[in-house]
Amino acid sequence: MATKKAPPRRNTDVIRCENCGEEYSTTYKRCPFCDEKPGGRSYPPVGGRRVAGGARASRGGQTNPLHVAGLVVSLVLIIAAVIIVITTLSPMLFGNPASSSGSDTSQDGAVSTENVTLESLTLSRTEVTLQAGETFQLSATPTPEAQVTVEWTSSNEEIATVDGYGNITNVYRGSDQVSVTITASAGGQTATCTVQCTGDGTGENIVPNTSDGEEGSSTTGSALEPNTDAVITGATGGLNIRSGPGTDYSVQASTSDGATVTVLGDAGNGWVHIRYSTGGGNFEEGYVMGEYLAPAPEQN
């Protein structure tokens, strides 16, 4: 018995896809390769390229702008989140670099004196004249500039007091004018200011102490007779020698603590007329406060 042959395939049983160019059976309502509906092409064919999984082929290589914008926004958000996390957690994980670097700066930018050696300390004034009950504030400036704690002291608190902020108050009750030394100390440096205080006349005059601690009747008593030598003492920041007996007179020279001068006489109001050496065998005359003079040691 002869075997029957299959009828020849008719071209009418298949359709060529207008989009991808593949042929498929007419039993499909859409192209199984690119999912294109027959007779529905509104864009150029893709040259026979198949779409994996039956998905629609890319149409002319066009990109969806909304899809691209979404990707960019997502990337920006991810980067911002990473920066926030790093900024927040890094101090806890690695510590604060500013606090662990050993810096000695404070919030106002001043340098602490812990690792700084001061070169000098300068006061806003070196001489002040105060009437009875009057006050005046001194300020101290360190070199180099640093954050320092200044200690203020008065050589005689019965004449003038000073607080921790450099506020000086004339509390002298005598009937004359006397001077007191205000000293500022910080970082191993000192600076002094001479304060002339006029008393209110309600109490007794205060006589400055002599070098041995005993009180005398005047600064040029038996220990400082005219034409005797005296030593500058208590003037740690130097002592001004003036052209007359008062702070209103000009400064003609300055001498250091321990220098020797010759007492010429009492000039009144605590001032002493002296003769001092200017070097090379030359001498000049001037005036200083007697409280800074002590008898010179006797020569053996």
For 157-197, write each residue's pLDDT tens digit. Answer: 989 999 999 999 999 988 888 888 999 999 889 899 999 99
116, 188, 107, 125: which is closest to 145 by C-alpha?
A: 116
d(CA 162, CA 124): 15
pLDDT at position 7, please?
A: 58
166 CB neighbour count, 10 Å cutoff: 18
- Residues 86, 87, 91, 92: is their CA dihedral positive or negative? negative
- What number of other Cβ atoms are within 10 A of residue 221's Cβ? 15
pTM exceeding the 0.75 threshold for the entire prediction = no
| CATH topology assigned to domain 228-295 | SH3 type barrels. (2.30.30)
Q: What percent of the chain has pLDDT over 90?
A: 26
261: closest CA among 239, 280, 245?
239
Of the candidates 226, 276, 271, 263, the residue with the CA atom closest to the CA atom of residue 245? 271
pLDDT tens digits along 243-288: 988 888 888 888 888 889 999 988 887 889 999 988 888 899 999 9
Domain ranges of the chain: 13-62, 63-95, 113-198, 228-295
Tokens 């629609």 correspond to what residue?
56
Phi-psi region of 31 (alpha: psi -120 to 50; beta: other; left: phi over 0): beta
Confidence of residue 114 (pLDDT cuts 50, 70, 90): low
Q: What is the rounded distance in angstroms from the CA atom of residue 294 to the CA atom of residue 283?
A: 20
In single-letter form, the type of residue at position 72 comes to V
DSSP at 20 = T
Is the CATH code 3.40.50.1000 the one for domain 113-198? no
Structure tokens at 182: 């205000």
Q: What is the mean pLDDT of residues 59-81?
A: 81
DSSP classification of residue 213: S
pLDDT of 139 higher than 80: yes
